[in-house]
Every structure is written in structure tokens, then in C-alpha cells.
Amino acid sequence: MSTSAGDVKCKRLEGKVALVTAATAGIGLAIAERLAQEGANVFICSRKQSNVDETVSALRNLGLEVSGCACHVGSAEQRRRLVEQCVQRYGGLDILVSNAAVNPGAGPLAETPPDVIDKILDINIKSAVLLVQEALPHLIQRPGASIVFVSSVTAFSPPEPIAMYAVSKTALLGLTKGLAAELGPRGVRVNCVAPGIVPTKFSAALVQTPELASAQAEATLLKRLGRPEEQAAAVAYLVSPDAAYVTGETLVVAGGMHSRL
């Protein structure tokens, strides 16, 4: 866990219910922890129930209100059950953070096998849209509801060897704009966070040697890699009342790395 519950003083999310996918490690875990620190009741998921149980226990030991269940976001039945269990546990849903993603293969775009393309598009884009559809009937009932997609700074200039993954993250920028236009009149804000290079298990290939990690750090204006809690702070802002007039935006949290399409 990144911090103790006492380290975050503001309680902008008191009385809110947040659902965070892929939240038992890395950036997702940091987001779940931060939202709970700010007063939200947080429901998490991961593919393995054992990981969910361990994370819920650890966060509750920090005095945070967290529950969760196993969910493979590529399954329609498991998505339905995820939202249903969250609403049953906490009585509603105010915040959806769509963080789940896969990168089953690496290499040039022109050589990416069809099965790798299918899996990336299915989980990183299709499942994100369908999860919103599942959650929307609950979100529109709550004033100040919001959705945040977790993209990547690589969305702006997809690099080899993770270009196909990065292209799926580019799609989330468009999804954010499109949903924000549709859902704004219904009272739901939709935004996106594009993290830079944050050393986690998921990004291990980008920082697997000291030389690679140093090169990634040099690509930033701050000359360092990011931390999960810095991404979590950005998400906490976007789902809070402080961002009540912010929708359709992508907040790049990447230490000044290039981030323009």
C-alpha cells in the first residue's frame, strides 16, 4: 500500500460509491486506496478472487471501506454481477474507473497476429464500453456521477513493441470525447487519465533493465519515472466536486512527456 489513510486530509468523496476495475495491483490499487482515503466506499475487482480478498483485507486494515469480487471484464455475466454486487453492497454507484487492460503480445503493428489484436480490442476497448453500459442505469441516478478511463501517454504516439496496445489506448481518448457528449446532458461526466511510464508489473517490459528505465526517465521533463499514487491523485481530482465543470478531457500525468496526437 502506498500511504496510510491519515496522509490524505481532504475528504471530497464522502458518501460516494466508486467501482474500480483491475484494482489489486499497480495503478488500479493506488486509485482504489486514494478514493477510499477521500471517503468513498470502494468496490474493486480483479480476475482472481484470492487477489481481491488480499487487497480488501489490506485496505480495511488501513481503516478504509473497501469490498470486491472477482471479475473478468471480458465476460458479460461477470460484468453484470460486478455492478450488481457493488450496488447491493453500497446502495448505488457514483464513480466508475475503468482501468482493466491487457497486452498479450509485443512487436511491430504490421506483424501483430489476429488473436492478439482481438484480445487487446476486446478487453481494452469493447469491455470498457460494455461496462459503462452496465453501470449507466445506476450512475444517472446520482448527482455528480462520473466515469474515468485509464489510458496511457503511449496513446499519443504508439511505440514499438507495444504499438497495438497503445492504439487501443488511443481509442479511449475518442471514447472519452464521445461518451462525454452523450452523457453530459444526463449529468454524468466522462474523463480520462493518461499515465506516463510508471514502474509496475504491467509495465515491466519498458523498465526491465536499468538502461531502459534510465532512458524512459530521460524522456520526461522531470527526469524521473512516475508513481502509482500520482496517477491516483489525478483520478481523485477528476471524480471529485473540484472537477465539476470538467468533462471530455484527458489529463496527461507523464512528467512532461510528449502528448499530442
Match 462525454 to its residue by C-alpha cell: 180
Do 255 and 221 meet the contact criterion of CB atoms below 8 Å apart?
yes
Q: Which of 90, 165, 237, 245 is catalytic?
A: 165
Do 31 and 233 meet the contact criterion of CB atoms below 8 Å apart?
no
The DSSP string of 130-142 is: HHHHHHHHHHTTS
The verdict on whether 237 is a catalytic residue reads no
Side chain identity at residue 29, one-letter code: L
**H or E element at residue 66:** strand 66-70
Which pairs from 165-172 meet CB under 8 Å and 24+ separation? 165/101, 165/102, 165/103, 165/120, 165/124, 167/109, 168/101, 168/120, 168/121, 168/124, 168/125, 169/101, 169/124, 169/194, 170/261, 171/124, 171/125, 172/124, 172/125, 172/128
Dihedral pair phi/psi, residue 73, rounded to 5°: -65, -10
The region, left, alpha or beta by phi > 0 then psi within -120 to 50, assigned to residue 75 is beta
The set of catalytic residues is: 165
